Chain A
Amino acid sequence: MSAIVCQDLCKTFEQGEQRIIGLDRVSLSIEAGELLCLSGPSGSGKTTLLNAMGGLDTPDSGSITLGGRRIDQLSRGALADLRLREIGFVFQAYNLIPVLSARENVEFVMQVQGLAPALRRERAAGVLTEVGLAGLEERRPAEMSGGQQQRVAVARAIASEPQLVLADEPTANLDSQSATQLMDLFQALNRNRNVTFVLATHDPRVMAYARRLVRMEDGRVIDDVAQQPSGRPSVGRPSVGRPSVGSEG
């Protein structure tokens, strides 16, 4: 079953008098449990596509279906609910709330969801252990390394048990070792929890983990291939092609 289906998505931005094409008739179908990488140079449209899939931005035309439900025409409030309950986000710059501890950051989404305190605590402790941060629960973001902060962000994204996690350049600010650890974590979560991961990146270390690689350029999908994930990074390794799934170049 498809986790998310994008059909003929178009998005343009105004920058002064210039009109910039963000997405140009993008169609993409992502199956549940996939670990997919959107790659391409800066300005290729991968973040715009990720934002549209996550209900953070609305396309000018086309449709997005998440779990069988059209989301491109939902109201602001309904989109907020959708992000709250069905999607986990991991951003480039960690994006933790600085006045909250690691545990409180992880619990934050669950608090907004209205989960009982005991359940929140139990889940937060569980996911923080799962991402390797046991013992650091009460540290604030400023007291943690970049890699640890990004792990907290991952823990926050998966704590509410979403079926889809969207990550935008998750390793951009991490050193090589932290990036590898993070991708190992994504891979394990994808396998163990069957969570669908869609990652926007131009980092070859990340692409190496993907089971499907979608290349974008100028707002269009130019390549969509399946590959055998290496598990460990192999920079510049060519992708192993397989027929694309519902892609458009």
Chain B
Amino acid sequence: MHWPLGSLLTLAWRNLWRNYRRTLIMLLAIALGVWAMIVMSALMRGMTDQMVRNGLATLPGEAQIHHPEFLLDPSVVNHMPMPAGRLLEQLNSAPITAWAARLRVPAVLASEYASRGVTLLGVDPAQEDALGSLPETLLEGRMLAGADDRGILLGAGLAARLETGLGKRIVLMTQDTANNVADRGVRIVGIYRARLQGDEERFAYVGRGALQELLGLEQRVTEIAVSASDYTAVDAWLPALQAAASPELEVLGWTELHTFLGSMLAVQEGFVLVFMVVVFLVLSFGLINTLVMAVFERTRELGLMQALGMRPALILLQVLLESLLLLALGLLAGNSLALATLLPLRDGVDISAVAEGMEMMEMGTTLYPLLALDDMLMSTAVVLTLGLLASLLPAWRASRLDPVRALARH
């Protein structure tokens, strides 16, 4: 059997515009559906991406190395040595772009008016800067000058709670490895603003060397944070890092360290697909109606084609081609519309009106839509697959017409 694709395409294209109002309405519906699929998935993906990035900035890094007991008991007793040997070599090689060894201990900060429990981070500012884990905005004072800086950097929220300010001395209290209270007076050298208000009240920064000295932990840390800049590619380099670390250390990726974020990403992928399928299922009823009407109106013509010797398979193909053209035009219009909507929003959408609620999900005040090629391809695949499946029924009915009855129809 010969497949005259060119002729069938010509017929399909011209038939599409016989009832141009109906075609335009269906095109509009498909285009809006595709637009909704892409724009919504870009907003959802942007939201998830920000949640992950904010989460990783706080974590920080896409992988961390700890004493095996540290995650269960994040106290100073579960310390480990500074990286050396193979591990150090691995940390300094591509694709890893930055790493920071730090002390993370629970502590109490007390001013003359109030006291608060915080997570005290003993950091080397140079390493943290490369990792991007230092606060982005300094409101007053200065950042820590080095690992041996004896000052403290507080969030604006925490400073307000402690009713203290820049230049004032506060008392820092924590426990050393022998479970004795270790305390010291420290001067506030800087006040920072964090993207998430909760972080401002939770984290205080001191020099790593100064904290090691207070805790009696020479060259020991509790955490090594590692980053290769792309959180989606951790699985590519994590095994090598795990192999380089000594067996007494635990090396975990961010999805294991922050299971909520990890599952969030997986749920989002599934949700985008479900959303697309639901949107198109609604649209498919319109598509079926359009094709059923087109077949009904052209019963006589389709009967004629069969009478002239066109095989049922070719009739089926012709109706499917008509549907395919309609879907392709709808996809083109929908994708163009989505691009036209998302490009002006690439600098972010202000969601400060709902920022407090969003902060619970580690979101900032600006939402950056993230247009992914995968989502555009997925929406195209969903529309074409479901659209052609929905078209099968009217196409099959057209191919099964009895030519004698069809020709007798007026």
Interface string of A113-130 (1 = CB under 8 A from B): 110000000000000000
Q: Is the CB of A97 within 8 A of B11?
A: yes
| Residue in A56, A100, A114 whose beta carbon sits within 8 Å of that of B2 in the complex | A114
Secondary structure type dominating chain B contacts: helix
What 1/0 flags go to A67-101 for Cβ under 8 Å of B? 00000000011001111110001010001011110
Q: How far is the CA of A187 from the CA of B305 in the complex (A)?
A: 26
**Contacts A99-B14, A100-B11: A83 and B308 contacting too (C-beta < 8 A)?**
yes
Interface size on B, residues (CB 8 A): 26
CB contacts (< 8 Å) of A77 on chain B: these are 1, 311-313
Residues of A with C-beta under 8 A to B1: 77, 81
- On B, residues with C-beta under 8 Å from A are 1-2, 4, 6-7, 10-11, 14-15, 18, 300-301, 304-314, 403-404, 407
The answer to whether A56 and B310 touch (CB under 8 A), given A99-B14, A99-B18, A112-B2, is: no
Q: List 26 A-B contacts (CB under 8 A).
A: A54-B307, A56-B403, A77-B1, A80-B309, A80-B311, A80-B312, A81-B1, A83-B309, A84-B308, A89-B307, A91-B304, A91-B407, A97-B11, A97-B304, A97-B305, A98-B301, A99-B15, A108-B7, A108-B308, A111-B7, A112-B2, A112-B4, A112-B308, A112-B309, A112-B310, A156-B308
Assuming the A-B contacts A97-B11, A100-B11, A113-B2, are A81 and B301 also in contact, with contact meaning beta carbons closer than 8 angstroms in the complex? no
A79 to chain B, nearest CB (A): 9
Number of A-B contacts (CB under 8 A): 69
Q: Assuming the A-B contacts A51-B404, A95-B300, are A80 and B310 also in contact, with contact meaning beta carbons closer than 8 angstroms in the complex?
A: yes
Bound Cα distance from A100 to B18, whole angstroms: 12
Given A56-B307, A80-B309, A80-B312, check contact A114 B4 (CB 8 Å): yes
6 smallest CB-CB distances across A and B, nearest first, come from A84-B309, A114-B2, A99-B14, A83-B309, A111-B7, A111-B4
Task: Please tell me if A109 contacts chain B, counting CB pairs below 8 Å.
Answer: yes
A184 close to chain B: CB less than 8 A: no
How many angstroms between the C-alpha atoms of A51 and B404 in the bound complex? Answer: 8
A residues 37-85 near B (Cβ < 8 Å) are 51, 54, 56-57, 76-77, 80-85
A76 and B312: CB pair below 8 A? yes
Q: How far is the CB of B311 from chain A (nearest CB, A)?
A: 5
Asked whether B11 lies within 8 Å of A84 as measured between CB atoms, the reply is no
CB contacts (< 8 Å) of B15 on chain A: these are 99
Q: How far is the CB of A45 from chain B (nearest CB, A)?
A: 13
* Most central of A82, A91, A112, A114 by chain B CB within 10 Å: A112
Min CB distance A137 to B, Å, is 16
Residues of A within 8 A of B304 (CB): 91, 95, 97
Return chain B residues, CB-CB under 8 Å to A108.
7, 308
Query: Among the listed B7, B10, B301, which residue makes an inter-chain contact with A112, where contact means beta carbons less than 8 Å apart?
Result: B7
Does A84 contact B310, Cβ atoms closer than 8 Å? yes
Assembled-state Cα–Cα distance A109/B4 (Å):
10
A54 to B307 alpha-carbon distance, docked (Å): 9
Shortest Cβ gap from B5 to chain A (Å): 10
Is B407 a contact of A81 with CB atoms below 8 Å?
A: no
Q: Kindly list 7 other residue pairs between chains A and B, CB separation below 8 angstroms, not including A80-B311, A111-B4, A156-B308.
A: A77-B312, A77-B313, A83-B307, A100-B10, A104-B10, A111-B6, A112-B7
Give CA–CA (A96, B80) in the complex, Å. 87
> How many angstroms from the CA of A85 to the CA of B2 in the assembled complex?
12
**For residue B13, which residue of chain A has the nearest CB?**
A99
Expressed in whole angstroms, the Cα–Cα distance for A171 and B309 within the complex equals 23
Chain B nearest Cβ from A212, distance in angstroms: 25
Residues in A whose Cβ lies below 8 Å from that of B14? 99-100
